[in-house]
Amino acid sequence: MGNVTLQVLHCPGHTPGHVVFFDEQSQLLISGDVIFKGGVGRSDFPRGDHTQLIDAIKRKLLPLGDDVTFIPGHGPLSTLGYERLHNPFLQDEMPVW
């Protein structure tokens, strides 16, 4: 896109082929339906997989850094650092509702 180079990261779980786009220079992530402020994408679709989704977020997205701002497919922007600390789906123990 012009002078911008985007990294494409495969983040399955919401769907098997889901990808996100990361601009390292601006520290901006276009995350689609992988992660939201306070939540994660649905995985109850055919071939969706919640375990894969959480694993992709923890192994591929969170290591990008706490200061990375993401643009989700729905809802407000957030940072990976905020979600690492506050998103209940990314904690070691899931809350009981």
Give dist(CA 9, CA 26) in Å, integer: 16
Q: Is the Cβ–Cβ distance between 1 and 36 less than 8 Å?
A: no
Q: Name all domains of the chain by residue range, CATH numbers in brackets.
A: 7-90 (3.60.15.10)
Q: What is the pLDDT of residues 9-33, one digit of tens each?
A: 999 999 999 999 999 999 999 999 9
Given a cut of 70, whether residue 1 has pLDDT beyond it is no
Give dist(CA 74, CA 26) in Å, integer: 21
Q: What is the pLDDT of residues 62-78, one digit of tens each?
A: 999 999 999 999 999 99
Q: What is the 3-state secondary structure (H, E, C) of 38-67?
A: CEECCCCCCCCCHHHHHHHHHHHHHHHCCC
Would you say how long the chain is, in residues? 97
Give the pLDDT confidence score for residue 73 in this predicted structure: 96
Give the pLDDT confidence score for residue 75 in this predicted structure: 96
Which sign does the torsion angle of CA 78, 83, 88, 94 carry? positive
Give the pLDDT confidence score for residue 2 in this predicted structure: 80
Q: What global pTM score does this model have? A: 0.89
Given a cut of 80, whether residue 95 has pLDDT beyond it is no
